[in-house]
Chains A and B, each alone.
Chain A
């Protein structure tokens, strides 16, 4: 799966948890999930659980610390589906 294909699956997941005052157009690969997209910590967990379901992978607590922007999510997903 290419990173573009991963992004295409990831974008609608993130969109679900965007606060009302953030437009879906603001989602790009450099977007910081909490600081720029204003996703709160509880919804960050929701996003991870949805990613786990969609990509059939499992995140660990350490992975959370590496997750800042959309690219971080994509590289974590790439690592996990490669295993």
Chain B
């Protein structure tokens, strides 16, 4: 069945719907129908460090969550849709997150995201996602869910709007 999963790791990144300054994926390390891992290095001059916090740059939790969602949910979703037939211009919408944060991530740090599919049914992808720093310490972990589209061959989005 491996042949059905024919998207390469670089092709996944090329299909991501994000660009600078809101792309938080550098590399997909490994991907399968069940899980994915990948890395991102937070650029020292990223826009959010200017204000988070005043004179004390720390990566915001929402950005860590975004990185976990882009790698753990959207990259995996692109891969899973890629094994199905019509996957041109897949769309994604975050539907819920529940993340615990354990350690700060400072400018220039490289993180690795691991995501395990809990289920992918009726276009909803739910994953257990964790983020580790360069010392293999857990930075954040939790559950992220999102909806993928298009839902049907007519190309309508999931909510019809």
| Residues in chain A within 8 A of chain B (CB atoms) | 34, 40-46, 48-49, 59, 61, 64-65
Contact = CB atoms under 8 A, between A and B. Distances in A.
B98 to A, nearest CB: 13
Given A40-B95, A65-B152, A45 B159 contact: no
Interface in B47-72: none
In this complex, which of B122, B124, B145, B146 has the most chain A Cβ atoms within 10 angstroms of its Cβ?
B122
Could you tell me the dominant secondary structure of chain A's interface residues? helix
Contacts of B124: 41-42, 45-46
A61 B122 contact: yes
Interface of B: 95-96, 119, 121-124, 145-147, 152, 158-159
A60 B52 CA distance: 46
22 contacts: A40-B95, A40-B159, A41-B124, A41-B147, A41-B159, A42-B95, A42-B124, A42-B145, A42-B146, A43-B95, A44-B122, A45-B121, A45-B123, A45-B124, A45-B147, A46-B124, A49-B119, A49-B121, A59-B122, A61-B122, A64-B122, A65-B152
Contacts, number: 31
Nearest to B122: A45
Contacts of B145: 42
A49 B123 CA distance: 13
Contacts of A34: 159
B95 to A, nearest CB: 3
In this complex, which of A34, A49, A59 has the most chain B Cβ atoms within 10 angstroms of its Cβ?
A49
A59 B146 CA distance: 19
Given A48-B122, A61-B122, A42 B96 contact: yes
Contacts of A61: 122
Contacts of A65: 152
